[in-house]
Amino acid sequence: MLYCRATGPTRWDHLHPVSRGGDTVPGNLVPACGRCDDSKQDREVEEWVRSTSPLRPQKNELPRIRREVKEYRKKFNYIPREFKSKLSKEQMNIYQGFQRELQKLRTHLQLVGLLK
């Protein structure tokens, strides 16, 4: 397995997190144990290794992980892209409109004390 030496993966982890535009396809999904999957959360491997999560991989594992990630993505011809870069111009306008509406709602909820 990519992240640790546990035997018997129990989950599929998205290398490039879904929240950042990661796809559910071979090349972005890797088998992981539950501990690693929970510990990594919605972060890139690099961020996870540099974090303070108790179950993160050791820093000396990073070169191996980087190499394996690169080979794995190449094998499936997967190039991770940020969510916003996948949007057409029209979709981007809609997305930005939603963001503005959400910001107004957030501001309103803060004003009435329902959101910090």
Residues that bind Zn ion (CB under 5 A): 3-4, 6, 33, 36
Query: Is 29 within 8 Å of 12 (Cβ atoms)?
Result: yes
Minimum distance, C-beta of residue 82 to Zn ion, in the bound complex (Å): 26
The nearer residue to Zn ion, 33 or 49, going by C-beta atoms, is 33
Minimum distance, C-beta of residue 112 to Zn ion, in the bound complex (Å): 44
The nearer residue to Zn ion, 6 or 87, going by C-beta atoms, is 6
The nearer residue to Zn ion, 38 or 82, going by C-beta atoms, is 38
Minimum distance, C-beta of residue 55 to Zn ion, in the bound complex (Å): 7
Query: Is 110 within 8 Å of 116 (Cβ atoms)?
Result: yes
CB neighbour class for 80 (10 Å; exposed up to 12, middle 13-18, buried from 19): middle
